[in-house]
C-alpha cells in the first residue's frame, strides 16, 4: 500500500488504519521495530539500501520509506521495489518539507514499538540498528550512536556536541547520529523544523533514559550531501540556543528573568548611591545618572518578561495536558478496536 502524506501538521485521520490492522492480523510475524528512512533525492541509493536492509534485518522489522518531495525519481524507484521487499512501506510529501517533517510522517505511519531513524545515504550500517535495538530491549528508552570513521566537518561536529553536552547536561558524546528509541519517546514531542537533531536532549529533558554505542559512519557512495553548506553551522547554533531556551528559561521563566531583573535593580540602586555621594562632594558625573536609568529600566523589563513567560508557560502546560488526554483517549479507542477484533476471531 502506498501512502501519500501532505505533511505531519495536518490533523486529518489516517485513512489506512483499518488496512494496517488487517495487515497486522494477517502478518505471520508481529512488527516490533520500524525503521523510518527519510529520503530526498536519493534515487541511486534506494536499491542498494533496500538490498542491505533485507540482508541484515529480521522479519520483525518494517521499513517506512518517506520521500520528502524528491524530483530525481526516488519515490518511483522505491515503489518499484514493493513486491520484491514486503517489509517496505512508502509515504510521500508533495514537496520538500525537511528531514524533521519526514521523520514525523514516518513515525505516524509506523507500527513498531521501537523506532529507528536511518538515513537513506547508506552511511550507517544496518547491523548497528540491530545492536541499538538490543540495547533498547535491555531497558533503555533511547540509544544514540557515536560516529566512528572518517567524515567531513569532524571539528564542527565535535564543537557542536561539546556545546550540547554543556548546555543540556548530557553524558552522551554525539547527539546527531543513528538513533533508536521506544515509541513513547517521540509521542508528544514537539519538533520544529530541523529539530530532529535535538531528539536526544528533548527526550532526556522529559525523563527518558539515554545511552550511546559506537556506530560506523561510512563514506557516501551516491548522491550529494544535503547539509554541506557553511550556513548550516549558523542554523545549527541558533537552533541549539532555541532548544536550550525552551528547556531552561521557559521551564521557570520568572526564576531566570526575575533573578536577572533583581540583579539589575540592585546594581541600579548601588550606582544611584554612588552618584548621590559624588554629587554631595561636588563631583557630579552625569553618565552615572544615565547608567542608573538604564539599570532600573532593564530590571523592570526583565521582571515584565518573567511575568509574560509565566503566562506562556501556563498556557503551554494546559495545551500539553489536553494533548495527553486526547492521546490517551485515542489509545483507548484503538485498544477497544483490537479487543473486538480478537473476540470476533475467537
Instruction: Supply the DSSP string of 278-298, one letter for each residue.
Output: HHHTT---HHHHHHHHHHHHH
Please list the rounded mean pLDDT of every run of 10 residues in the chain (346 residues): 46 45 54 92 91 91 93 90 91 91 92 92 91 93 88 75 85 89 88 87 90 89 67 76 79 82 91 85 79 91 86 74 68 54 49
User: What is the rounded CA–CA span in Å between residue 42 and residue 52?
Assistant: 15
Q: List, in sequence order, every beta strand (DSSP E) within 118-243.
A: 142-148, 179-182, 210-216
Written as nine digits, the cell of 312 is 506562556
- Model pLDDT, residue 2: 46
Residue 72 is predicted with a pLDDT of 87
Instruction: Tell me the percentage of the chain whose pLDDT exceeds 70.
Output: 81
Spacing of C-alpha 50 from chain mean position: 25
Partners of 114 in the β-ladder: 33, 182
Give the pTM: 0.71
Helices 17-26 and 286-345 cross at an angle (nearest 10°) of 50
* Per-residue model confidence (pLDDT) at position 76: 92
What's residue 14's pLDDT?
46
% helix, strand, coil for the chain, step of 5? 55, 15, 30
CA angle 50, 72, 33 (to 5 degrees): 30
Strand order in the sheet with 88-93: 88-93, 61-68, 33-39, 114-117, 179-182, 142-148, 210-216
pLDDT of amino acid 323: 66
Amino acid at each position: 500500500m502506498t501512502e501519500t502524506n501532505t505533511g505531519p501538521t495536518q490533523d486529518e485521520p489516517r485513512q489506512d488504519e483499518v488496512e494496517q490492522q488487517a495487515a497486522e492480523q494477517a502478518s505471520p510475524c508481529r512488527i516490533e521495530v520500524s525503521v523510518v528512512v527519510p529520503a530526498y533525492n536519493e534515487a541511486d541509493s534506494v536499491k542498494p539500501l533496500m538490498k542491505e536492509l533485507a540482508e541484515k534485518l529480521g522479519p520483525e522489522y518494517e521499513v517506512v520509506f518517506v520521500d520528502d518531495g524528491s524530483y530525481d525519481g526516488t519515490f518511483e524507484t522505491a515503489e518499484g521495489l514493493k513486491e520484491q521487499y514486503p517489509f517496505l512501506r512508502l509515504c510521500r510529501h508533495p514537496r520538500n518539507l525537511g528531514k524533521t517533517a519526514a521523520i514525523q510522517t514516518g513515525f505516524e505511519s509506523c507500527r513498531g514499538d521501537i523506532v529507528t531513524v536511518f538515513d537513506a545515504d547508506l552511511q550507517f550500517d544496518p547491523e548497528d540498528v540491530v545492536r541499538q535495538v538490543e540495547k533498547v530491549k535491555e531497558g533503555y528508552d533511547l540509544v544514540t550512536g557515536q560516529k566512528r570513521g572518517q567524515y567531513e566537518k569532524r571539528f564542527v561536529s565535535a564543537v557542536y556536541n561539546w556545546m550540547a553536552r554543556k548546555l543540556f547536561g548530557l553524558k552522551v558524546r554525539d547527539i546527531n547520529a543513528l538513533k533508536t528509541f521506544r515509541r513513547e519517546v517521540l509521542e508528544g514531542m514537539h519538533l520544529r523544523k530541523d529539530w530532529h537533531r535535538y531528539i536526544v536532549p528533548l527526550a532526556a529533558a522529559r525523563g527518558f533514559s539515554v545511552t550511546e554505542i559506537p556506530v560506523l559512519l561510512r563514506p557516501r557512495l551516491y548522491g550529494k550531501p544535503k547539509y554541506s553548506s557553511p550556513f548550516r553551522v549558523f542554523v545549527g547554533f541558533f537552533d541549539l540556543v532555541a532548544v536550550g531556551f525552551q528547556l531552561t528559561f521557559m521551564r521557570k521563566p520568572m526564576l531566570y528573568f526575575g533573578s536577572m531583573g533583581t540583579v539589575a535593580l540592585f546594581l541600579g540602586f548601588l550606582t544611584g548611591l554612588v552618584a548621590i555621594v559624588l554629587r554631595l562632594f561636588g563631583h557630579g558625573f552625569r553618565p552615572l545618572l544615565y547608567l542608573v536609568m538604564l539599570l532600573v529600566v532593564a530590571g523592570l523589563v526583565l521582571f515584565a518578561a518573567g511575568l509574560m513567560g509565566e503566562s506562556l508557560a501556563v498556557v503551554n502546560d494546559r495545551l500539553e495536558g489536553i494533548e495527553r488526554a486526547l492521546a490517551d483517549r485515542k489509545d483507548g479507542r484503538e485498544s477497544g478496536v483490537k479487543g473486538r477484533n480478537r473476540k470476533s476471531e475467537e
